[in-house]
Amino acid sequence: MSEERIIIIGAGMAGATTAYFLTRKGRHNILLLEKEKIAGTQSTGRNAAILRTIIPDPLANRLAHQSAEFYFNPPEGFTSLPLVDCVGIFMAACAEHVGTLDAWCRKNAGANIIRSDATPVYAQIPILAPGLSSAAYKPDDGILDVHAILQSFLRGASQSGAQLCFGTQFKNLRVRDGRVEGVETSSGFMEASKVVVANGAWASVPDSFCGYSLPFAPYRRHLLVTEPIPQVNPRWPILWVVGEDYYFRPESGGLLMSACDAVKVTPEQGEITDHSELERIAAKAARWLPTLTNAGIARAWAGMRTFAPDEHFVIGKDPRLQGLYWVAGLGGHGITCAPVVGTLAADWIVDGKSDHPDAAALAPDRLVK
């Protein structure tokens, strides 16, 4: 009997990791549908590429640490490139936000975190304005090579039989007698016994899912990169100012930075740049990097972070419809946590369950009324 076909909607990080780990569990009749002409142009390619494992949510925190182990020790043949540049990350706070930083660190108990006052921050980033009083340093966090990670997952999946179908837009599910039959696409109907929704913000479009939608919401976030700045040392650590919603890191001779905006949008609005948000980034940069106020913007863009109502990932089988699976609502941590996300998804799709201790907390049935 021929192997059942699995269609994965979306060839960004969620879809790529799902396909990769499915092939490691012996599934090869996999079709990745991607509406763009290349993979990773949406949320995957529009993020800050930061590996930050100090996350206030304990569940996401655990998944991030587990995934970091994969990035530091990938399987043989996965890639010849280092996946993380360990420049380190400082989480730092003014006096009024030290309690928040303390709480974040308590939730990372056992991690390699070095606590101190702000002296080491100013020693490494001397142009930083005064005002920080406490810091937490994670030396093994840093900058992810998102392109290498995505291409390695896709290459590993395709070498094991998965097929990539670019320029093909998913339109809606086809359902019959309580089970998935396949998907309608811009290229016509494609049959499958299992369909995996891994298309980021577009998982929030209810009309696509024949009454089986889940309540996802995408939020837009802006980033910019300055023109090259002579004072910037390319080996500076990442700095995240806790409570101020501002972070920056070196990039292309300048600084990549964000003011952590979160405006609810439709997927079609996600790439639209709001210049008032760029002004907010500039205002925060003027506060913390006052000597760089004349630095020009080399490029700026917006990306989307998609959330479930409880802000936890949604990974697993839909209890309402046989053959429907979700890998969505990754809320800005999709790349940091990608190896665990893909492993969990493959468990559900192949085995109908997962033994991971957090699997039940991430399962879609919690959102079904």
| Contact criterion met (CB below 8 Å) for 273 and 300 | yes
Assign domain 89-139+218-307 to its CATH superfamily: D-Amino Acid Oxidase, subunit A, domain 2 (3.30.9.10)
By residue count, the chain amounts to 369
Report the predicted TM-score, pTM, of the whole model to 2 decimal places: 0.96
Domain 6-47+146-215+309-367 shares a fold with domain 89-139+218-307: no
Fold of 6-47+146-215+309-367: FAD/NAD(P)-binding domain (3.50.50)
The model's pLDDT over 288-315, given as tens digits with 9 standing for 90+, comes to 999 998 899 999 999 999 999 999 999 9
Phi, then psi, of 327 in degrees rounded to 5 = -135, 80
Question: Quick one: pLDDT at residue 32?
Answer: 98
- CA gap 110, 107 in Å, rounded: 9
Task: Characterize 135-149 residue by residue with b for buried, 16 or more Cβ atoms within 10 angstroms of its Cβ, and e for exposed.
Answer: bbbbeebbbbbbebb
Give residue-wise pLDDT tens across range 6-63.
Answer: 999 999 999 999 999 999 999 999 999 999 999 988 889 899 999 999 998 999 999 9
What is the residue extent of each domain of the chain? 6-47+146-215+309-367, 89-139+218-307
